[in-house]
A and B are shown apart, each in its own frame.
Chain A
Amino acid sequence: MTRLITKPNIAAPDDFYADLLAVHEGLAKAESDALNARLILILANHIGDRETLAEALDAAKPKK
């Protein structure tokens, strides 16, 4: 990992976490899945850099 920030980088992490759960509130599973997919695409575009994205994909993979 060289580009992906893996140290804490979000101010007020509890607030962000609560926001993340809040947007899903009241949604059915399929709607939540759709929201997550949109969110991933939005964030990925914001990052843009292919190497960082590749590191993020790798970091998210299930541990073997």
Chain B
Amino acid sequence: MNQTVETTGKKIFETPLYPYRRSADQEPGARAHHPVVVAGAGPIGLAAAIDLAQMDVPVVVLDDNDKVSWGSRAICFAKRPLEILDRLGCGDPMVDKGVVWNIGKVFFDDRQVYQFDLLPEKGHKRPAFINLQQYYFEQYLVERVRELQAEGKPIELRGGNKVVSVTPKDKGVALSVDTPDGPYTMDSDWLIACDGAGSPIRAMMGLDFVGRVFEDNFLIADVVMDADFPTERWFWFDPPFNRGQSALLHKQPDNVWRIDLQLGWNIDKDEEKKPENVIPRLKAMLGDDVKFELEWVSIYTFQCRRMEKFRHGHVIFAGDAAHQVSPFGARGANSGLQDTDNLCWKLKLVMDGLAPESLLESYDVERIHGADENILNSSRSTDFITPKSDVSRAFRDAALDLSERFEFARPLVNSGRLSVPCVYDGSPLNGPDALEGGPARTRPGATCPDARLGTDFLLDRLGGEFQLLAIDAEVPDSVEDGGIAANAIRVSAADDPSGDLAARYLGDARSAVYLIRPDQHVAARWPSFDEAAVKAAIRQATGRA
């Protein structure tokens, strides 16, 4: 990793979940050829592989490690990634284990200045956020891989397999892989590089990764304690126990609490993370009588940067390998999941010869748009939390000071803007927005918001293929263009007495027909069915216009 990760503390996940095993590809004289290889079994590589395997695309995942994530990493997962995980068949274990929270408190100096409630909108299957340790997140993804294998889906997970060289070819890539039994080689039509922020593959290909380093260090500690702090997000600016800096306290499952303490730039990292220095800091924050145990202690430096292009021929970068943000706003894994959600259906169409390779250019367009939005938001949060000049500190403190008495100042306070799904406005795949009076939130490019349908939820019925969502409109069972079918989902505004479905999809219109992409984004919409228009929109959404 390129972030400075140094972990002391004891190791809780020592169990190899996908230990190295010799594969047939390693037999002398063998030279395997795979349709898709995924490098990296972090959250993003695993999600990519599950998505592809669910569509019956054979996929091999290579990881130099054999265990789940090490140290304090992601804890906060937003609604959109949870919806994606539902489509990948593993939303339930995450949400069942995760901690749901809605209340946040902001402290300045020695006092609470205000509190907020996320007030999650009703009529959604998934909460606005859950907190869950990244190691659980990865564990449930690995369990999903095992489940798919048991169903006979073509997915292989190879631990102890380190990609050491990548040679792009005209229609694919040649790889060398190092293992405990020595190196072997293979060819693949496609390589999805999910090998993390320090991406060795990016380096092997001599590609850029430019952006901004924030000159600051954060002590990130996960502590186990039996404390009755409520399930809330607490953020401190300039507290007495960490003068001039910030602090965060957030609950995770199993009585584990995430604590972030900003340390500033000129510090001695080795000294700072020694337990004899960490424990007094935490006691000052939590109170002397609270008993706790350290699970992990690390010191991180954060950066915001991205590759200029995510796709390089048949090598496609996703997740932290392609872009990196500071964690304020929980955008890393969240946006990586949106990458593979965007990529996999496109890749499948290209592999099946149903769409031209140029369809993959829209992955760059749409996900670079997403990455830029995340980088902008994370940079702004970081600038608020770590003011870069006297005047920016003066405005920051003024906003905090005023927020106690005046509501107007609260939206100016920025301790992390929590991740919301990206709308692909202006995407070349977007078709017409012909629904007069249609709500802005479901315009072409947007993700479909959920709604309750009886005991069911709309999003459980969407995704994985093109679909025609008809709301109080007549549509045929299926419309096909160039071998790509859009199957009908028929609903009525009356199915949702709360009115959410109508408010989210009809607005002022009386009926609507939506063309929905396999990743649950809206491709086009009309007041009623028009076969020629739908076919044209399918062509548009698959890069054949």
> Which residues of A pack against B, CB within 8 Å?
33-34, 36-38, 40-42, 45
Q: How far is the CA of A33 from the CA of B389 in the complex (A)?
A: 13
B398 at interface by CB-CB < 8 Å: yes
B412 at interface by CB-CB < 8 Å: yes
Q: Which residues of the other chain, A, contact B409 by a CB distance below 8 angstroms?
A: 41, 45
Which residue in chain A gives the minimum CB-CB distance to B412?
A41
B86 at interface by CB-CB < 8 Å: no
Q: Which residues of the other chain, B, contact A42 by a CB distance below 8 angstroms?
A: 402, 406, 408
> Which residues of B pack against A, CB within 8 Å?
390-391, 394-395, 397-399, 401-402, 406, 408-409, 412
Q: Which residues of the other chain, B, contact A33 by a CB distance below 8 angstroms?
A: 390-391, 394
Which residue in chain B gives the minimum CB-CB distance to A46?
B408
Q: Which residues of the other chain, A, contact B395 by a CB distance below 8 angstroms?
A: 37, 40-41
The smallest C-beta distance from A34 to any residue of chain B, in angstroms, reads 6
The smallest C-beta distance from A59 to any residue of chain B, in angstroms, reads 18
Q: Which of B390, B391, B402 contacts A38 (CB 8 A)?
A: B402
Contact A34:B402 (CB < 8 A) given known A41-B412, A45-B408: no
Contact sample, A vs B, 14 pairs, CB 8 Å cutoff: A33-B391, A34-B401, A36-B394, A37-B395, A37-B397, A38-B398, A38-B401, A38-B402, A40-B395, A41-B398, A41-B402, A42-B402, A42-B408, A45-B409
Q: Which residues of the other chain, A, contact B402 by a CB distance below 8 angstroms?
A: 38, 41-42
Q: Which residues of the other chain, A, contact B401 by a CB distance below 8 angstroms?
A: 34, 38
Q: How far is the CA of A45 from the CA of B406 in the complex (A)?
A: 11
Q: Which residues of the other chain, B, contact A36 by a CB distance below 8 angstroms?
A: 394
The smallest C-beta distance from A28 to any residue of chain B, in angstroms, reads 13
Contacts A33-B390, A33-B394, A38-B402 supplied; 13 other A-B pairs, CB < 8 Å: A34-B397, A36-B394, A37-B391, A37-B395, A37-B397, A38-B398, A38-B401, A40-B398, A41-B398, A41-B402, A41-B412, A42-B402, A42-B408
Question: By the criterion CB–CB under 8 Å, are A37 and B398 in contact?
Answer: yes
Q: How far is the CA of A34 from the CA of B406 in the complex (A)?
A: 16
Q: Which residues of the other chain, A, contact B394 by a CB distance below 8 angstroms?
A: 33-34, 36-37
